[in-house]
Amino acid sequence: MSYVHILDNTNEQNTLYLKSVSADEIILKQASADRIITFNDSTATIHFGEGLLSSIVFDDGTTWDKAQIEQHIAKTVVGTFDNDVVETATANQTYSYTLDTGADTLIFKVLDDIDNLGGNSNGEWTDFNLSENDKLDLSQLLINNNGNLQEFITVKDTQAGVVMSVDRDGSNQSTYHSQELILLTAKHYTLEDLMASNAFIH
């Protein structure tokens, strides 16, 4: 990943510029009074205090003001030792899932049908594990799924883990476009690994 961050202190307005980075390639977390930016394709982090940034500007010009920065903080979802079933519930809410042991299932619901991700924001699953039979339920997201998942799902192996992108209507259609959906933290599975383990419900 190539990025540069610049703090502009003119008039005490601190702006963070992220070069070569889009909003769907980061996850913003809260740790006590700190805010932490992590990247889908890197183990790098940026830390800043609550309220110390007036805005974040991404490479494509997307800008988050102070209120939007707070709104984009990932909501933490913690599981149990049982076989948890968790659904996305709020449109445009980023989630950080730690679902513990058990055969856990994450269901992506359609929260906004015109959106590339069905209203879901990119998130992370910190302890996804094929050996525990964890699963990703994409059945509501995928449209006209013909069983050829390679047309709908792509994965990218990065320093941070596996980044999974979804094209809701497949690569042969143009209504929706591929977009990053979730980071499987610290895992380095291929798409073939995930398919062979029946990790997808579709």
Q: Quick one: pLDDT at residue 2?
A: 44
pLDDT in tens, 98-144: 999 999 999 999 999 999 999 999 999 999 999 999 999 999 999 98
Q: Quick one: pLDDT at residue 35?
A: 94
Greater pLDDT, 125 or 11: 125
Give residue 20's Cα distance to chain centre: 17
Q: Which two structure tokens, joined as six digits, stand for 80?
A: 């149990």
CB 15 within 8 A of CB 57: yes
pLDDT in tens, 158-173: 999 999 999 999 998 9
What is the average pLDDT score of the chain?
92
pLDDT in tens, 42-69: 999 999 988 889 999 999 999 999 999 9
Question: What's the rounded mean pLDDT across residues 191-195?
Answer: 98
> Which residues make Cβ contacts (< 8 Å) with residue 129, sequence separation at least 6?
187
User: β-strands 95-98, 123-125: how paired?
Assistant: parallel
Q: Which of 194, 128, 140, 141 is nearest to 168 (CA)?
A: 141
Q: 3-state secondary structure string, the chain?
A: CCCCCCECCHHHCCEEECCCCCHHHEEEEEECCEEEEEECCEEEEEEEECCCCCEEECCCCCEEEHHHHHHCECEEEECCCCCCEEECCCCCCCEEEECCCCCCEEECCCCCCCCCCCCCCCEEECCCCHHHCCEEECCCCCCCCCCCHHHCEEEEECCCEEEEEECCCCCCCCCCCCEEEEEEECCCCCHHHHHHCCCEEC
Greater pLDDT, 9 or 108: 108
Give the residue extent of every domain in the chain: 10-71, 75-201
pTM metric for this prediction = 0.89
pLDDT of 84 above 80: yes
Length of the chain: 202
